[in-house]
Structure 1
Amino acid sequence: LFVSYHIGRALGLSNHLSMLVACGNSICGNSAIAATAPVIEAQSDDVAASISFTAVLGVLFVFVLPMLHAGLGLSATQYGIFSGLTVYAVPQVLAATAPAGTLAVQVGTLVKLIRVLMLGPVIFGLAVIGGRARETKLPIAQVVPWFIIGFIAMMAACSFDLIPDVARAPIKTTSSFLTILAMAALGLSVDIRNVLHVGGRVVIAALLSLTFLCALSGVVLVVLAQGN
């Protein structure tokens, strides 16, 4: 987040646009941008530009990642960790890790949700830094990602064999359908006109931030490999 923000500032982006791009890249894409915007009082044009480009870049990255998995020979666990650390949105993590198998999906989703948990503290920190901790009124559902509670509940139910075997297949089918639906919903949030009007500096800032995130994730994989 810190590095992504300063990349934007170094490229001449405004304070607000730099923060929106940084939060989108570092936490959870469009959801983080939408939650951050009212706290920092960002302009609607900045919000539209950052959301549109982040969504497009995230989808493109989902197509690239499986090639990386095949080319580098990463294990399912390593690929899941890398995907969870780099991909923007939870549905995109599911789509990116699916070709690598169930273990990659599970690991990637868990790592991604840990990143999503940072949304609340970041929003609160920005409000405090901006001197608007008491003035900014946000719905609690916008700051606290409630879907994580459902994830933890289902993970516990599965781990303790609370889900009957007969129900597992229908649940997996439903999960796949809802994942496709979520990806379609992300597409509905993109206005291609906003993407076309995004300045070159925003594009460069987002790409450099993503490159740094990938490099940092690679370092994490190396450290974990050495630890084992």
Structure 2
Amino acid sequence: MERFKNIGPGLILSFIVAAISKVIAIWLPTIGAATIAILLGILLGNTFFKQPFLSKGTKLAESLLLELSIVLLGTTVTFQTIAHMGFNGIGFIVLQMTGTIFAVYLLGKKMKFSKKMSLLMAGGNAVCGSSAIGAIAPEIEANDEEKGQIITLVNLLGTVLMLLLPVIATGLYSDVLTKSALIGGTLQSVGQVVASASMVSPEVVEYATLFKIMRIILLVVVVFAFSKFTEKDRITTSNTEYVETRTKKKLPLPWYIIGFLTFCTINSLIPLPESISTIAHQVSGWFEITALAAIGLRLDFAKFFKEGIRFLIYALLVGVIQIGLALVLIQLFNI
């Protein structure tokens, strides 16, 4: 009961915003409930609902519900669906991530950011936003202040791109897979991918999420590479205590990705009954919209502008790099 008192208000508010968005979407079907949910959440979260006691519930809604939505997506997807992306899609993701990491890291060093902050910015934008930063930070021994500043920057950039990429995608491309590659291969967090793709079409949501999942799976590789890259720095300043704790750590693979792959495998080998897929799709949709409402409610624009002009310029340039790289690679791989 005590736990519900802590999370209840924010969780209920997220659900109410999602329900209102569903109703509004009846009159504005071209915009869609998902887009309305996050925009309405941003409006309300920066005006009427800024109370700290709401944060625990909205945080739970943002993270857990969206993760459950990804797991349930596995019941509606097969490996045949994933195969539509082909080797070109995989190549696009690998080069997009690699190019983003190198470019963002070098830009950070050029702008006099520390090595750790540059790596956090590179990994957060290349993989999956705050989740990637949280996984990378202990491996490179970044402190809480460095982690917090970069998470703020990545979320700011992701919010801007979330609204911008649907315009670019629909303006430049007509193919579903191409639009999905641009959105799913560029945006920082899963929630931003889903929200942005929802502004285009349900088909783009599905494939953009698959492109995003491929990036998240590669988080394991990124964390390992960053750890090796900073190993000499840690050895010179570190101690046996770090070495002992380091050996106990496991390479991260988010639980919801394992859940998604499990259901996807089952559905590929033994097709699930249509009734199960339908129910899973409906529940997943509610979870998704509620999570997007929570993301909007948690976006505090005041925090973004406290970081200073140098941080904002860094974020802006990273966004330009990511979009430019994605457009070039889409053309190169003929997606």
Q: Which residue of 2 aligns with 1:224?
A: 333
Q: Is the 8 A contact 2:169 2:182 kept in 1?
A: no
Q: Is the 8 A contact 1:76 1:103 kept in 2?
A: yes
Q: Is the 8 A contact 1:93 1:108 kept in 2?
A: yes
TM-score of the aligned structures, taking structure 1 as reference length: 0.86
Q: Which residue of 2 aligns with 1:107?
A: 207
Matched, 1:169 2:269: no
Aligned residues: 225
Q: Once the two structures are aligned, what percentage of the paired residues are identical?
A: 29
Task: Give, in angstroms, the shift of residue 13 of structure 1.
Answer: 1.1
More moved, 12-21 vs 186-195: 186-195
Residues 30-49 of structure 1: pairs in structure 2 closer than 5 A: 30-49=130-149
Note closer, same or farther for the CA distance 1:20–1:190 as it changes in structure 2 (3 Å cut): farther
Note closer, same or farther for the CA distance 1:53–1:34 as it changes in structure 2 (3 Å cut): same
* Cα distance in 2 for residues equivalent to 1:65 and 1:75: 15
Matched, 1:205 2:205: no
Note closer, same or farther for the CA distance 1:19–1:174 as it changes in structure 2 (3 Å cut): same
TM-score of the aligned structures, taking structure 2 as reference length: 0.60
Q: Which residue type is aligned with residue 149 of structure 2?
A: A
Q: Is the 8 A contact 1:8 1:18 kept in 2?
A: yes
More moved, 76-85 vs 86-95: 86-95
* Cα distance in 1 for residues equivalent to 2:219 and 2:155: 18
What RMSD over aligned residues (CA atoms) do the two structures have, in Å? 2.5
Note closer, same or farther for the CA distance 1:53–1:119 as it changes in structure 2 (3 Å cut): same
Task: Give, in angstroms, the shift of residue 39 of structure 1.
Answer: 1.7
Matched, 1:136 2:211: no
Q: Is the 8 A contact 1:85 1:213 kept in 2?
A: no
Task: Give, in angstroms, the shift of residue 192 of structure 1.
Answer: 4.7
Q: Which residue type is aligned with residue 222 of structure 1?
A: Q
Per-residue deviation, residues 172-199 of structure 1 (Å, max 9, x unmatched): 1211222234335545765555422213
Q: Which residue type is aligned with residue 246 of structure 2?
A: T
Matched, 1:121 2:230: no
Matched, 1:147 2:247: no
Gaps of 5+ in 2: 1-100, 235-241
Matched, 1:11 2:145: no
Task: Give, in angstroms, the shift of residue 99 of structure 1.
Answer: 3.4
* Cα distance in 2 for residues equivalent to 1:78 and 1:106: 13
Gaps of 5+ in 1: none
Q: Is the 8 A contact 1:48 1:194 kept in 2?
A: no
- For the pair shown, which has the larger CA radius of gyration, 1 or 2? 2
Which structure would you say has the larger RCO, counting Cα contacts within 8 Å and 6 or more residues apart? 2
Task: Give, in angstroms, the shift of residue 137 of structure 1.
Answer: 6.3
Matched, 1:98 2:207: no
